[in-house]
Protein backbone atom coordinates (compact mmCIF):
# COMPACT_ATOMS: atom_id res chain seq x y z
CA UNK A 1 0.00 0.00 0.00
CA UNK A 2 1.08 3.58 -0.57
CA UNK A 3 0.37 5.49 2.63
CA UNK A 4 0.27 9.26 3.06
CA UNK A 5 1.21 10.14 6.65
CA UNK A 6 0.46 13.64 7.93
CA UNK A 7 2.52 14.53 11.00
CA UNK A 8 5.04 11.79 10.22
CA UNK A 9 7.90 13.90 11.61
CA UNK A 10 6.33 13.84 15.08
CA UNK A 11 6.58 11.30 17.87
CA UNK A 12 3.91 8.71 17.06
CA UNK A 13 4.06 9.47 13.33
CA UNK A 14 7.78 8.73 13.09
CA UNK A 15 7.48 5.36 14.80
CA UNK A 16 4.40 4.42 12.76
CA UNK A 17 6.10 5.43 9.50
CA UNK A 18 8.98 3.11 10.30
CA UNK A 19 6.60 0.28 11.20
CA UNK A 20 4.66 0.78 7.92
CA UNK A 21 7.89 0.72 5.90
CA UNK A 22 9.03 -2.43 7.71
CA UNK A 23 5.67 -4.03 6.84
CA UNK A 24 6.39 -3.41 3.14
CA UNK A 25 4.27 -0.30 2.54
CA UNK A 26 5.64 2.86 0.91
CA UNK A 27 5.20 6.16 2.76
CA UNK A 28 4.94 9.84 1.90
CA UNK A 29 5.20 12.07 4.98
CA UNK A 30 3.45 15.44 4.94
CA UNK A 31 4.59 17.65 7.82
CA UNK A 32 5.14 21.36 8.40
CA UNK A 33 8.05 20.49 10.74
CA UNK A 34 6.65 23.14 13.08
CA UNK A 35 6.56 20.63 15.93
CA UNK A 36 8.37 17.71 14.37
CA UNK A 37 11.88 16.86 13.35
CA UNK A 38 13.37 16.20 9.93
CA UNK A 39 15.67 13.65 11.59
CA UNK A 40 12.61 11.74 12.80
CA UNK A 41 11.55 10.88 9.24
CA UNK A 42 12.82 7.49 8.13
CA UNK A 43 15.12 7.86 5.11
CA UNK A 44 12.99 5.36 3.16
CA UNK A 45 9.99 7.73 3.30
CA UNK A 46 9.57 10.80 1.09
CA UNK A 47 9.08 14.00 3.07
CA UNK A 48 6.85 16.76 1.72
CA UNK A 49 7.17 19.90 3.85
CA UNK A 50 3.76 21.57 3.92
CA UNK A 51 1.06 22.92 6.19
CA UNK A 52 -2.44 21.45 6.37
CA UNK A 53 -3.85 24.91 6.99
CA UNK A 54 -2.88 25.67 3.40
CA UNK A 55 -5.70 23.99 1.45
CA UNK A 56 -3.82 24.15 -1.85
CA UNK A 57 -0.67 22.63 -0.35
CA UNK A 58 -2.43 19.53 0.97
CA UNK A 59 -4.63 19.22 -2.11
CA UNK A 60 -1.60 19.31 -4.45
CA UNK A 61 0.53 17.00 -2.29
CA UNK A 62 -2.23 14.39 -2.07
CA UNK A 63 -3.04 14.62 -5.78
CA UNK A 64 0.64 14.14 -6.62
CA UNK A 65 1.17 11.24 -4.20
CA UNK A 66 -2.02 9.35 -5.21
CA UNK A 67 -1.95 7.19 -2.06
CA UNK A 68 -4.16 4.23 -1.21
CA UNK A 69 -4.70 5.53 2.31
CA UNK A 70 -4.04 8.44 4.66
CA UNK A 71 -2.89 8.26 8.28
CA UNK A 72 -3.58 11.62 9.92
CA UNK A 73 -1.39 12.47 12.94
CA UNK A 74 -0.73 16.16 12.22
CA UNK A 75 -2.18 18.31 14.99
CA UNK A 76 -1.28 20.46 17.95
CA UNK A 77 -1.63 18.38 21.09
CA UNK A 78 -1.05 20.39 24.27
CA UNK A 79 -4.11 20.60 26.52
CA UNK A 80 -2.74 23.61 28.42
CA UNK A 81 -1.94 25.55 25.26
CA UNK A 82 -5.43 24.80 23.92
CA UNK A 83 -6.97 26.43 27.01
CA UNK A 84 -4.84 29.54 26.47
CA UNK A 85 -5.26 29.72 22.69
CA UNK A 86 -8.34 27.77 21.59
CA UNK A 87 -8.43 29.49 18.19
CA UNK A 88 -5.04 28.02 17.33
CA UNK A 89 -6.38 24.52 18.06
CA UNK A 90 -9.58 24.87 16.07
CA UNK A 91 -7.77 26.50 13.13
CA UNK A 92 -5.00 23.91 13.00
CA UNK A 93 -6.68 20.71 14.09
CA UNK A 94 -10.20 21.23 12.74
CA UNK A 95 -9.28 23.52 9.84
CA UNK A 96 -6.46 21.19 8.85
CA UNK A 97 -8.80 18.21 9.13
CA UNK A 98 -11.37 19.83 6.82
CA UNK A 99 -8.66 20.65 4.27
CA UNK A 100 -7.47 17.05 4.42
CA UNK A 101 -11.01 15.67 4.00
CA UNK A 102 -11.55 17.89 0.94
CA UNK A 103 -8.17 16.93 -0.55
CA UNK A 104 -9.04 13.25 -0.06
CA UNK A 105 -12.42 13.72 -1.72
CA UNK A 106 -10.82 15.44 -4.71
CA UNK A 107 -8.10 12.79 -5.00
CA UNK A 108 -10.62 9.95 -4.56
CA UNK A 109 -8.82 8.51 -1.49
CA UNK A 110 -11.26 6.71 0.83
CA UNK A 111 -9.28 5.12 3.62
CA UNK A 112 -8.37 7.32 6.59
CA UNK A 113 -6.85 6.42 9.95
CA UNK A 114 -7.18 9.36 12.33
CA UNK A 115 -5.31 10.01 15.61
CA UNK A 116 -8.10 10.70 18.05
CA UNK A 117 -7.72 10.78 21.79
CA UNK A 118 -9.10 9.74 25.16
CA UNK A 119 -9.29 13.54 25.69
CA UNK A 120 -12.57 13.39 23.73
CA UNK A 121 -14.20 11.65 26.74
CA UNK A 122 -13.44 14.44 29.24
CA UNK A 123 -14.44 13.28 32.74
CA UNK A 124 -15.71 9.87 31.65
CA UNK A 125 -19.08 8.62 32.76
CA UNK A 126 -17.54 5.21 33.56
CA UNK A 127 -14.10 3.57 33.66
CA UNK A 128 -12.70 1.47 31.98
CA UNK A 129 -13.73 3.57 28.99
CA UNK A 130 -15.28 1.77 26.04
CA UNK A 131 -16.22 3.44 22.77
CA UNK A 132 -19.85 3.92 23.87
CA UNK A 133 -18.95 6.22 26.76
CA UNK A 134 -20.30 9.68 25.84
CA UNK A 135 -17.68 12.05 24.44
CA UNK A 136 -17.78 15.29 26.42
CA UNK A 137 -14.42 17.02 26.08
CA UNK A 138 -13.31 19.43 28.79
CA UNK A 139 -10.73 21.39 26.79
CA UNK A 140 -10.41 22.80 23.24
CA UNK A 141 -7.83 20.16 22.32
CA UNK A 142 -10.26 17.30 23.06
CA UNK A 143 -13.08 19.25 21.40
CA UNK A 144 -10.95 19.73 18.26
CA UNK A 145 -10.40 15.97 18.02
CA UNK A 146 -14.12 15.29 18.49
CA UNK A 147 -15.01 17.86 15.83
CA UNK A 148 -12.59 16.19 13.40
CA UNK A 149 -14.31 12.86 14.06
CA UNK A 150 -17.59 14.62 13.22
CA UNK A 151 -16.23 16.07 9.98
CA UNK A 152 -14.90 12.68 8.89
CA UNK A 153 -18.20 10.98 9.81
CA UNK A 154 -20.12 13.36 7.57
CA UNK A 155 -17.65 12.70 4.73
CA UNK A 156 -18.31 9.01 5.35
CA UNK A 157 -22.08 9.49 4.97
CA UNK A 158 -21.94 11.85 2.03
CA UNK A 159 -18.85 10.74 0.08
CA UNK A 160 -18.10 7.21 1.27
CA UNK A 161 -14.92 8.06 3.20
CA UNK A 162 -13.82 5.10 5.37
CA UNK A 163 -12.54 6.71 8.58
CA UNK A 164 -11.03 4.81 11.50
CA UNK A 165 -10.72 6.75 14.76
CA UNK A 166 -7.91 5.44 16.92
CA UNK A 167 -8.46 7.00 20.33
CA UNK A 168 -5.07 6.73 22.02
CA UNK A 169 -4.63 6.80 25.75
CA UNK A 170 -1.16 7.89 27.02
CA UNK A 171 1.44 7.24 24.33
CA UNK A 172 4.92 6.52 25.68
CA UNK A 173 8.10 4.52 25.08
CA UNK A 174 10.32 4.49 22.01
CA UNK A 175 11.54 2.20 19.30
CA UNK A 176 15.26 1.68 18.67
CA UNK A 177 15.54 4.76 16.43
CA UNK A 178 12.69 7.14 17.11
CA UNK A 179 11.45 8.51 20.42
CA UNK A 180 9.64 11.35 22.15
CA UNK A 181 10.99 14.88 21.75
CA UNK A 182 8.21 17.42 22.30
CA UNK A 183 9.16 21.06 22.76
CA UNK A 184 8.15 22.09 25.29
CA UNK A 185 7.79 18.66 26.88
CA UNK A 186 4.75 18.38 29.12
CA UNK A 187 4.31 14.61 29.39
CA UNK A 188 5.05 12.81 32.63
CA UNK A 189 7.37 10.02 31.47
CA UNK A 190 9.88 12.05 29.42
CA UNK A 191 9.97 14.67 32.19
CA UNK A 192 10.65 12.00 34.83
CA UNK A 193 13.45 10.58 32.67
CA UNK A 194 14.92 14.06 32.19
CA UNK A 195 15.31 14.20 35.98
CA UNK A 196 17.18 10.88 35.92
CA UNK A 197 19.40 12.26 33.13
CA UNK A 198 20.25 15.29 35.26
CA UNK A 199 18.51 17.67 32.86
CA UNK A 200 15.90 18.71 35.44
CA UNK A 201 16.27 18.92 39.23
CA UNK A 202 12.98 17.25 40.16
CA UNK A 203 9.59 16.12 38.95
CA UNK A 204 6.50 17.99 40.08
CA UNK A 205 3.45 15.88 40.92
CA UNK A 206 0.34 17.80 39.93
CA UNK A 207 -2.15 17.10 42.71
CA UNK A 208 -2.30 14.42 45.40
CA UNK A 209 -5.92 14.86 46.38
CA UNK A 210 -7.57 12.87 43.59
CA UNK A 211 -10.05 10.07 44.31
CA UNK A 212 -7.42 7.35 43.74
CA UNK A 213 -5.61 5.06 46.23
CA UNK A 214 -2.47 7.26 46.50
CA UNK A 215 -4.21 10.53 45.60
CA UNK A 216 -2.42 11.01 42.26
CA UNK A 217 -3.98 10.68 38.79
CA UNK A 218 -4.24 7.29 37.13
CA UNK A 219 -3.55 6.89 33.39
CA UNK A 220 -3.30 4.05 30.89
CA UNK A 221 0.24 4.13 29.44
CA UNK A 222 0.48 2.49 26.03
CA UNK A 223 3.70 1.74 24.15
CA UNK A 224 4.13 3.76 20.95
CA UNK A 225 5.06 0.56 19.10
CA UNK A 226 1.70 -0.94 20.05
CA UNK A 227 -0.03 2.19 18.78
CA UNK A 228 1.96 1.95 15.55
CA UNK A 229 0.89 -1.65 15.11
CA UNK A 230 -2.78 -0.68 15.49
CA UNK A 231 -2.37 1.68 12.50
CA UNK A 232 -0.92 -1.09 10.36
CA UNK A 233 -3.86 -3.36 11.29
CA UNK A 234 -6.44 -0.61 10.71
CA UNK A 235 -5.00 0.03 7.25
CA UNK A 236 -4.91 -3.60 6.27
CA UNK A 237 -8.49 -4.35 7.40
CA UNK A 238 -11.70 -3.10 5.85
CA UNK A 239 -13.09 -1.37 8.95
CA UNK A 240 -14.28 2.03 10.09
CA UNK A 241 -15.31 3.66 13.36
CA UNK A 242 -13.72 4.19 16.77
CA UNK A 243 -11.21 2.04 18.66
CA UNK A 244 -9.85 2.86 22.11
CA UNK A 245 -6.19 1.95 22.41
CA UNK A 246 -4.80 1.27 25.86
CA UNK A 247 -3.55 -1.62 27.97
CA UNK A 248 -6.49 -1.56 30.34
CA UNK A 249 -4.10 -1.07 33.30
CA UNK A 250 -3.96 2.17 35.20
CA UNK A 251 -0.87 3.55 36.91
CA UNK A 252 -0.78 6.53 39.22
CA UNK A 253 1.75 9.34 38.86
CA UNK A 254 3.51 8.05 41.99
CA UNK A 255 3.62 4.52 40.57
CA UNK A 256 5.17 5.79 37.34
CA UNK A 257 7.85 7.69 39.27
CA UNK A 258 8.57 4.63 41.45
CA UNK A 259 8.91 2.40 38.38
CA UNK A 260 11.20 4.96 36.72
CA UNK A 261 13.40 4.96 39.85
CA UNK A 262 13.82 1.19 39.45
CA UNK A 263 14.57 1.37 35.73
CA UNK A 264 17.01 4.29 35.88
CA UNK A 265 18.49 3.56 39.34
CA UNK A 266 18.17 7.26 40.06
CA UNK A 267 16.48 8.76 43.13
CA UNK A 268 14.28 11.10 40.97
CA UNK A 269 13.30 13.69 43.57
CA UNK A 270 9.61 14.58 43.47
CA UNK A 271 7.71 17.54 44.87
CA UNK A 272 3.98 18.04 44.96
CA UNK A 273 2.07 21.00 43.58
CA UNK A 274 -1.61 21.86 43.10
CA UNK A 275 -3.67 20.06 40.45
CA UNK A 276 -3.13 20.86 36.80
CA UNK A 277 -6.47 22.20 35.50
CA UNK A 278 -8.53 19.76 33.48
CA UNK A 279 -7.00 16.47 34.67
CA UNK A 280 -9.60 13.71 35.25
CA UNK A 281 -8.88 11.35 38.21
CA UNK A 282 -8.67 8.16 36.20
CA UNK A 283 -8.50 7.33 32.48
CA UNK A 284 -8.22 3.66 31.62
CA UNK A 285 -9.18 2.10 28.30
CA UNK A 286 -11.45 -0.81 27.51
CA UNK A 287 -9.89 -1.98 24.24
CA UNK A 288 -11.94 -5.11 23.56
CA UNK A 289 -13.19 -3.66 20.26
CA UNK A 290 -9.62 -3.15 18.95
CA UNK A 291 -8.69 -6.64 20.05
CA UNK A 292 -11.74 -8.28 18.50
CA UNK A 293 -12.15 -6.29 15.28
CA UNK A 294 -8.57 -5.26 14.47
CA UNK A 295 -6.92 -8.32 16.02
CA UNK A 296 -4.76 -5.91 18.06
CA UNK A 297 -2.89 -7.17 21.11
CA UNK A 298 -0.37 -4.96 22.89
CA UNK A 299 3.08 -6.55 22.78
CA UNK A 300 4.61 -4.32 25.44
CA UNK A 301 2.01 -3.93 28.19
CA UNK A 302 4.44 -3.91 31.15
CA UNK A 303 5.16 -0.40 32.43
CA UNK A 304 8.80 -1.12 33.28
CA UNK A 305 9.43 -2.35 29.71
CA UNK A 306 7.86 0.82 28.31
CA UNK A 307 10.00 2.94 30.61
CA UNK A 308 13.09 0.93 29.71
CA UNK A 309 12.59 1.64 25.99
CA UNK A 310 12.06 5.36 26.62
CA UNK A 311 15.11 5.42 28.90
CA UNK A 312 17.32 3.70 26.32
CA UNK A 313 16.29 6.27 23.68
CA UNK A 314 16.83 9.18 26.09
CA UNK A 315 20.30 7.93 27.03
CA UNK A 316 21.22 7.75 23.35
CA UNK A 317 19.58 11.10 22.53
CA UNK A 318 19.96 13.27 25.63
CA UNK A 319 19.29 16.37 23.51
CA UNK A 320 16.42 14.68 21.65
CA UNK A 321 16.78 15.22 17.92
CA UNK A 322 19.18 18.03 18.76
CA UNK A 323 17.82 20.59 16.30
Residue 11, binding choice from ligand UDP, ligand NAD, none, Cβ under 5 to 8 Å by partner class? ligand NAD
Provide the CA 283 distance to its chain's centre, in angstroms. Answer: 15
* Calpha distance 16→61 (Å, rounded): 20
Is 141 an annotated catalytic residue?
Answer: yes
Q: Which positions from 60 through 79 interact with ligand UDP, judged by CB under 6 A? A: 79
Measure the CA–CA gap between 75 and 8, rounded to whole angstroms.
11
Q: Quick one: what does residue 12 bind among ligand UDP, ligand NAD, none, with the CB cut-off 5 to 8 Å set by partner type?
A: ligand NAD
Give the residue nearest to ligand UDP (CB).
217
Residue 204 lies near ligand UDP (rule: CB under 6 A): yes
Residue 27 near residue 46, CB atoms below 8 Å: yes
The piece of 49-57, 101-109, 206-214, 308-316 that touches ligand NAD (CB under 6 A) is 49-57
Nearest residue to 81 via CA among 67, 93, 64, 68: 93
Report the distance separating Cα 159 and Cα 304, nearest Å. 45
67 binds ligand NAD (CB under 6 A): no
Find the part of the chain contacting ligand UDP (CB under 6 A) among 7-15, 16-24, 125-133, 200-208.
Answer: 200-208
Question: 65 and 58 in contact (C-beta within 8 Å)?
Answer: no
Stretch that binds ligand UDP, among 9-17, 18-26, 124-132, 180-188 (CB under 6 A): 180-188
Of 245, 1, 16, 28, the closest CA to residue 111 belongs to: 1
Enzyme catalytic residues: 141
Binding site for ligand UDP (CB under 6 A): 79, 170, 186-188, 191, 203-206, 217, 219, 253, 276, 279
Amino acid sequence: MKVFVTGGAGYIGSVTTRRLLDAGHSVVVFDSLERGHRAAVDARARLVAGDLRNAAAIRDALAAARPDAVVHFAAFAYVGESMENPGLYFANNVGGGINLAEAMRLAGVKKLVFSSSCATYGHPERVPIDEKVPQRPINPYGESKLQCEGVFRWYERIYGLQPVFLRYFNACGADARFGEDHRPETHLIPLVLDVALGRRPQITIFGEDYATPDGTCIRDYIHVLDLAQAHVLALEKSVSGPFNLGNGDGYSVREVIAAAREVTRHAIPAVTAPRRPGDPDRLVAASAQAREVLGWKPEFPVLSDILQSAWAWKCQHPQGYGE
